[in-house]
Amino acid sequence: MSITRATPTTLSRTQRAAIYGAVFLSFIDNFALLPVIGPRAQQLGGTPLLVGFAIAAYSLANLAFDPIGGALADRFGRRRVVMVSLIISPAAIAIYAFANSLPLFLIARLIHGASGGALAAALFALLGDAAPVGRRGRTLGRAGALIGIAAVVGPASAAIISAIAGATMVFLGVAVLIAVGLLIVLPLLPETLAPRASAAATPGAWRRILADPQLRIALVAIFGLEAAVGSVTGFIKDGLITRALAEGRDQAGALRYAAGASGGLFTIFGVIAIAIMLSRVADRVDHRGPFGISLVGLGALAGALTLLAVSPTLTVDLIAMVLYGVGYGLIFPAAAGAVAIASAPGERGRANGALNLSFDIGISAGPILGGLLATLFVGLTAFAGGLTLVVVAAILLPVVGRGSRGSSGAA
């Protein structure tokens, strides 16, 4: 069965708001739960290795289901995949709260990650379908801003609730939030693709996706962005603790300093990134293509990681996080918008599956390479891993973008 795109202008404001509501619900869960997944796995008897697997299981399942979810969205329509995935999410989170064994907790984590991978591909395909021609960058930028808000609000809220009422209430609170949100959003969520009467396969879809220069640029740019994200989120707190200890603070004081400083730095990053994604800068991908804006964004990320690697003061950290916010704010709407512009309607789910796969590989590769380099080379900071991958992405960008045009793609 092949699918054709509904006309974007037929969507009402309420339907568009429902789509953005689904975006927020889709990302608030993982961000809010990150601070309590590890401690919960420890409570269930997890060794350090198993705790690490519990944290990583969501992303591992994401990797497997990114392309699968995209293919399902192209086959059965966006709304069905989004609906099923969002129903699975609160059920899996409720199991986190009541699991009395680590195996059950890990199974729920894998199921949650699988539904999240399918959900992201289908939801961004839906956004691409719904975006007006000429404003796809702005539409995806708004979605990115909502994700940024979830990234700032989720962990902070979870930390407060966990401190007051415990981790179980965090799990139950997030599950209830998503379940109630579903009751509001799902009846209003449109299907942007309608099945044709005659079933038809789309052979060679993956080959066409990887052959398109704009899509290749998007994949490389998002990989570089997420390599930086993984490095910054993974190592900035450790760097702050090390500096605080070197300044003479005791261990408890260093931990308090790092928690407060990292919270402030990430808030600054979020404000900068969200402001750019909501601005007219996000429209540039529709008129100029993703290459230039992605290259500038990768340059900003390289600057941010370089400063964090050598930073002697919180002021330098602040400048680095501003650059980090600029890079994120430029690249996310450029890459996601390029996928919406360049992919054919019946292949947009798979194209977004490829984008999310590149996203997940990057966010894992940055900290892994950083940890490896810091272990092998004395004096090298863990930020070197993300910096290396960002530089590689910037070098590859003109290579993979050969033959691209400023603004082309499927209508």
Decide yes or no: CATH 3.10.20.30 for domain 13-190.
no
Q: CATH code for 207-400?
A: 1.20.1250.20
The angle, 0 to 180 degrees and rounded to 10, between the axes of the packed helices 48-76 and 13-43 is 160
Q: Answer yes or no: are the C-beta atoms of 327 and 127 closer than 8 Å.
A: no
Alpha-carbon distance of 319 to 338, in angstroms, equals: 29
pLDDT at residue 408, rounded to an integer: 43
100: exposed, middle or buried (Cβ count in 10 Å: 0-12, 13-18, 19+): exposed
pLDDT at 62 over 60: yes
Q: CB 10: neighbour CB atoms within 10 A? A: 10
Q: Answer yes or no: are the C-beta atoms of 236 and 265 closer than 8 Å.
A: yes
- Confidence band of 4 (pLDDT split at 50, 70, 90): very low
Alpha-carbon distance of 266 to 154, in angstroms, equals: 12
Tens digit of pLDDT for each residue in 316-351?
Answer: 999 999 999 999 999 999 999 999 888 888 888 899
Tens digit of pLDDT for each residue in 14-25?
Answer: 988 899 999 998
pLDDT at residue 5, rounded to an integer: 39
pLDDT at residue 375, rounded to an integer: 86
Q: Which two tokens stand for residue 5?
A: 């795109």
Q: CB 312: neighbour CB atoms within 10 A? A: 9
In sequence order, what DSSP letters do the residues of 42-95 get, joined into one string?
HHTT--HHHHHHHHHHHHHHHHHHHHHHHHHHHHH-HHHHHHHHHHHHHHHHHH
Tens digit of pLDDT for each residue in 244-275?
Answer: 888 888 888 888 888 788 888 888 998 999 99
DSSP state of 397: H
Locate all alpha helices (DSSP H) within 279-347, ordered by sequence. Answer: 284-288, 291-310, 314-342
pLDDT at 302 over 90: yes
**Domain regions of the chain by residue span:** 13-190, 207-400
Q: Answer yes or no: are the C-beta atoms of 222 and 230 closer than 8 Å.
A: no
Comparing 234 with 203, which gets the higher pLDDT? 234
Give the pTM. Answer: 0.85
Q: Which two tokens stand for residue 43?
A: 């409570």
Selection from 149, 153, 157, 185 nearest residue 173 by Cα: 157
Comparing 266 with 10, which gets the higher pLDDT? 266
End-to-end CA distance of the chain: 20
DSSP state of 3: E
Tens digit of pLDDT for each residue in 178-226?
Answer: 999 989 998 999 888 766 523 444 667 788 888 899 999 999 999 999 9
pLDDT at 175 over 90: yes
Average pLDDT over residues 144-152: 87
Q: Which two tokens stand for residue 265?
A: 């730095």
pLDDT at 2 over 70: no
Alpha-carbon distance of 148 to 156, in angstroms, equals: 13
Q: CATH topology of 13-190 equal to that of 207-400? A: yes
